[in-house]
Amino acid sequence: MLNRLRCIPGLLVSENVPLASCTRFAIGGPAWALADASTEAALAAALRVLRASETTYTVIGGGSNLIASDEGFPGVVLRYTNATIEFGPSSEAAKTVRVRAAAGALLQDLVDRAIKAGLAGIETLTGIPGWVGGAIYGNAGAYGHSMHERVIGVRYLNAAHASSGPRALDNVACEFRYRDSVFKREKDWIVLEAELELDRGSAEDLARTAAGIRQIRDEKYPPTMRCAGSIFKNLLLAELPEPVRAQVSAGVIREGKVPAAYFLDQAGAKGLARGGVKVASYHANLIYNEGGGTASDLRKLIAELQRRVAERFGIVLEEEVQHI
């Protein structure tokens, strides 16, 4: 079967690849094979081969929000690596510009190029690691703004019907919600490309805003830190039980959300550790791999944090991370 995959133009296949090398946590055992598709045709062809041969497979992106098993993955890990970013034509009088970004493009590259072109709307996403496909999948966001605000449409491939070719969804059909989208529920749908609409602005002003945000993010989540950023989703104030809402001071609430870190801090999360993974001493919603950490350590620590918050407040914290 691997030989059949290797015959597909635009598909790079490697065997026995440690998933630790594909995730920001730097955790995870070996995958039987890693297959990187650089074109839509290669991705569709690989899916046809995998499904026809009934080979176990999974699809991932940049691995910035991913916990991979210590045992690895007994099949093929497939990635769509096309990193193309294209700016649509526009006149000087146009107030907006359309931008197309392939799923394999680094989100930071998209942000940087938009800022350089004087296009506003995604500058607050600077410093968020990962690929555009993952940012669409999880509706990534920061500082009061999320991807969905700028998405016009998304092209995707249904793995179950790869021969039928790409399909498209408009913004509404993507069913974006806080750190959520239809792609989290439709596991066979693979993001290929997103089209965004950005406003014209001052490149200097946008760069200044992004630099300030980047400084804050880098202090909180140093680029070399082996972590996924926040481990749990923040909570919508309106969805919390009344007794819990009554315990939250107004100064904690941000854009109608209560930071998960607030509840974790109250539950004594800071500094907790299991094996080689630890909760930061300065941020209760940040778990990182100190060195030698395992997925088992990470899962146990996450479970302990959820248990503490549930016992203290009667609420269940939902993970932002995905698992293999």
Residues with a catalytic annotation lie at 179, 230, 320
Token digits of residue 254: 């941000």
Other beta carbons less than 10 A from residue 145's beta carbon? 16
Whether 27 contacts 293, CB under 8 Å:
yes
Cα–Cα nearest to 305, from 291, 292, 318: 318
The rounded distance, in Å, linking the Cα atoms of 246 and 307 is: 21
Other beta carbons less than 10 A from residue 132's beta carbon? 27
Whether 200 contacts 162, CB under 8 Å:
no
Whether 67 contacts 321, CB under 8 Å:
yes
Read off the amino acid at residue 310: A
Give strand pairing partners of 20.
none
